Each structure stands twice: as C-alpha cells, then as structure tokens.
Amino acid sequence: DAGVIQSPRHEVTEMGQEVTLRCKPISGHDYLFWYRQTMMRGLELLIYFNNNVPIDDSGMPEDRFSAKMPNASFSTLKIQPSEPRDSAVYFCASSPPVGKRAPGANVLTFGAGSRLTVL
Amino acid sequence: GENVEQHPSTLSVQEGDSAVIKCTYSDSASNYFPWYKQELGKRPQLIIDIRSNVGEKKDQRIAVTLNKTAKHFSLHITETQPEDSAVYFCAASIYGGSQGNLIFGKGTKLSVKP
C-alpha cells in the first residue's frame, strides 16, 4: 500500500484565496482524520470521519474551514478565504476499522503533510 | 473531552544517557496511549504504544510505563543516540470504541549531543 497520500505537499497563496487540500486514505481504513500542526499549538485534531460521515468537527477553527469525504478513498479540507494565521502543516491520517486493529498494529497512519503558507 | 499534558517541552541529553518524557491525561475512559516520533520535516510515526491492561511495555531501547490510578504515562529511552533526536508526541484515546481520534500532547523536542 502506498500509505496515506496528500496533495499538494506545499502551497503558497495570498490572503483571501481559497485553498483545497486533498487526502487519499489507506485502502480499507474507515477512519480519516485531519490534523493541523503549528509551533504554537502543536498537533490539533480538526475533524474526523468514520465511513465517510463527519463524526466530530469541534476542532475546526471557524466557518472558513470545511471538510468533505465524498467517498471512502478521498477527502478534502477547504479554507475559504485563507488568512496568514492559517499557515501550518496539515496532516491527514487514517485508521483501520475497530474490529481489524491487530494488537500492536499502528492505529493511526499519517500522510506526509501539506505545508500551507498564506502571505 | 480528553486533555493531554506533556513535559518537558525540550530535553537535551548526552549520547548514551537516558531520556524520560512524561504525560498526563484527564479522561479516565482513555485506554490507549501511543508515542509518535517526528523527525524534522517528516510525518509523525508510531514508535511504541501501550494499552491500559498492561503497566509497562518495552521494545529494545524504548519503554513506556503507565499508571492508570495517577493517569500518567512515560516514555523511557536508554542509551540515547544522535538519531534519537526528534520531537516526541504522546497521545491518548479510547481504543476499540466508537471514538478513533487521538488527542496529542504538545510534544517534546529531544536533542542528543554526541
């Protein structure tokens, strides 16, 4: 398996522009998570999905952020309009179904991240 | 909800010394405690985890201990090497429950000096 695939790896945009980050989870994983990492706030959970349904979006900072998962193999995180304080590394991660988590197996696998810079 | 505190935020040791990182959690229902290592510019990767049915787990030079009563758990790295230099994150969640999300501590930047 190629692991969790994120795109783009780097994005530089200007304030006010729309940003869309993309994620393809590991095949067979039914949980998908979006995290944001900054020096000040560390790794923050933004939202997570189970079977394509958003379960908890309490970490989404404000209405400018939205996330969708139209099918089991694709999710997007959109920021509109973007602001300089949104600059961060955004990680997508996925987990296998609860009943298929082998003891000692990795519960959460991260993608390589998307580094966003908003000027 | 769950809250995870991690200390120290930075840790510097000499090569060959031991390093200890400590975390506390707030939700007594949490029963899964993984540790992730993140090298500069890379993604976090799992290095060891423990479930609340055991008190200690060891894998070569790394070990994790858990005190359920006090709601704290620790990462121990022995005989540190320069390649152990990274940011380490602890996390807590309910394993096997409907919640799959991990709540992370703020991280500890470990520097191992040759």
Residue B40 pLDDT > 50: yes
pLDDT range class, residue B98, cuts 50, 70, 90: very low
Q: State whether the Cα torsion B43-B19-B68-A103 is positive or negative.
A: positive
User: In 3D, which of A81, A82, A79, A111 has the Cα closest to residue A94?
Assistant: A111
Residue A23 is encoded by which pair of tokens? 């994620």
The rounded mean pLDDT for chain A is 91
User: In 3D, which of B24, B19, B8, B7 has the Cα closest to residue B67?
Assistant: B24
Q: What is the pLDDT of residues B62-81, one digit of tens each?
A: 999 999 999 999 999 999 99
- Tell me the mean pLDDT in the region B16-21: 98
**Cβ-based contacts of B92 with chain A (< 8 Å):** none
Q: Which of A57-61, B14-18, B106-110 has the lowest mean pLDDT?
A: A57-61
Is A108 part of the contact surface with chain B (CB cutoff 8 Å)? yes
The rounded mean pLDDT for chain B is 91
pLDDT range class, residue B51, cuts 50, 70, 90: confident
Whether B44 sits inside 8 A of A50 (CB atoms) is no
Whether B46 sits inside 8 A of A112 (CB atoms) is no
* DSSP per position, B24-81: EES-TT--EEEEEEE-TTS--EEEEEEETT-SEEEETTEEEEEETTTTEEEEEE-S--
**pLDDT value, residue A96:** 84
Query: Which residue of A48, A50, A107 is in closest CB contact with B34?
Result: A107
Whether B46 sits inside 8 A of A33 (CB atoms) is no
